[in-house]
Amino acid sequence: MMNKMLVLALGLIPMLATTATANDRYRERPPIIVSPDLTAPWIMQLGGAGVRPTVYPARPQKPRAQYHKQAPHEVQRRQKNVRRGEAQPVALRPNRAIRSQIEPQFLPQMVAFDTKHAPGTIVIDTNNRFLYLVEGNGEARRYGVGVGKPGFEWAGAHKVTRKAEWPRWVPPKEMIAREAAKGHYLPASMDGGPENPLGARALYLGSTLYRIHGTNAPWTIGSAVSSGCIRMRNEDVVDLYERANVGTKVIVM
């Protein structure tokens, strides 16, 4: 009997030592570090409609090299640098500077709006880059939008057939081919998120490929830049998304 008790006691010693070591290890627990950025993109996605998306600032502009005629000796020097593996600047076509701020008239506001359309109707004035949500009593809620670039303009009447939060982007084959011809290679699809060009919300129009959606480039609001879709700031499309239901009539003119 004594031998059995001795064996049992000897077997418990390693277990007690392990427990003591574990307790010593976690006697002072390491601090929990929480990111101070409470508007992190993944938090916004988990938060649903109760969390307001952030406004993403314009991307900083990089200096653009201009085309210029180079002397023969300068060309030879650059060619030698390339052969030696040295980097050289890439010549880019001159282009307009990206607007870093949205003009005040494109921010949401209540305006006088005389229309025959029923309250709840969405009216999009593509020429002036405004989207109106008819409120009735001669008023409407107005938002700034980005519209189709030259050659991609359209007009018509549709209804909202579907709504999506942080929608997945699947570029049409025509767009993929068109951009590839320019040297821009688009993904076959992209999950929803802050980097997705459809932004925080999307309202799909009829059976078309057109949508009213957010954007990852808010500085383009007020411009004709899209392939026909109507783009809004993320916080604006979230506001519209909460006010407009499936079946809402949309007039594009």
End-to-end CA distance of the chain: 97
Under 8 Å between Cβ of 128 and 230: no
Listed residue (212, 205, 193) closest to 146, CA to CA: 212
Task: Determine whether 68 is an active site residue.
Answer: no
Domain membership of residue 50 (yes or no) is no
Neighbour order of strands in the sheet with 230-231: 109-112, 139-144, 130-136, 122-125, 249-252, 156-165, 201-205, 211-213, 230-231
Under 8 Å between Cβ of 147 and 224: yes
Q: Which residues contact 225 (CB under 8 A, 6 or more apart)?
A: 146, 147, 149, 231
Task: Determine whether 213 is an active site residue.
Answer: yes
Domain membership of residue 162 (yes or no) is yes
Q: In sequence order, which ranges of the chain are alpha helices (DSSP H)?
A: 2-25, 41-47, 72-83, 173-180, 234-243
Domain that holds residue 153: 104-252
Domain membership of residue 69 (yes or no) is no
Domain membership of residue 72 (yes or no) is no
Under 8 Å between Cβ of 200 and 214: yes
Domain membership of residue 70 (yes or no) is no
Q: What is the pLDDT along the chain (253 residues), one digit of tens a residue?
A: 555 555 555 555 555 544 444 444 444 444 433 333 333 333 333 333 343 443 434 444 444 444 334 445 544 554 444 344 433 333 333 344 445 578 999 999 999 999 999 999 999 999 999 999 999 899 999 999 999 999 999 999 999 999 999 999 998 899 999 989 988 888 989 999 999 999 999 999 999 999 999 999 999 999 999 999 999 999 999 999 999 999 999 999 9
Per the structure, the count of domains in the chain is 1
CA distance 64 to 180: 23
Domain membership of residue 20 (yes or no) is no
Domain membership of residue 239 (yes or no) is yes
Residue 137: give its domain's CATH number. Answer: 2.40.440.10
Q: What is the pTM of this model?
A: 0.61
**Catalytic residue of the set 68, 158, 184, 229:** 229
Structure tokens at 161: 């057939």
Domain membership of residue 74 (yes or no) is no
Q: In sequence order, which ranges of 58-172 are alpha helices (DSSP H)?
A: 72-83
CA distance 60 to 253: 34
Residue 226 host element (H or E): strand 224-226
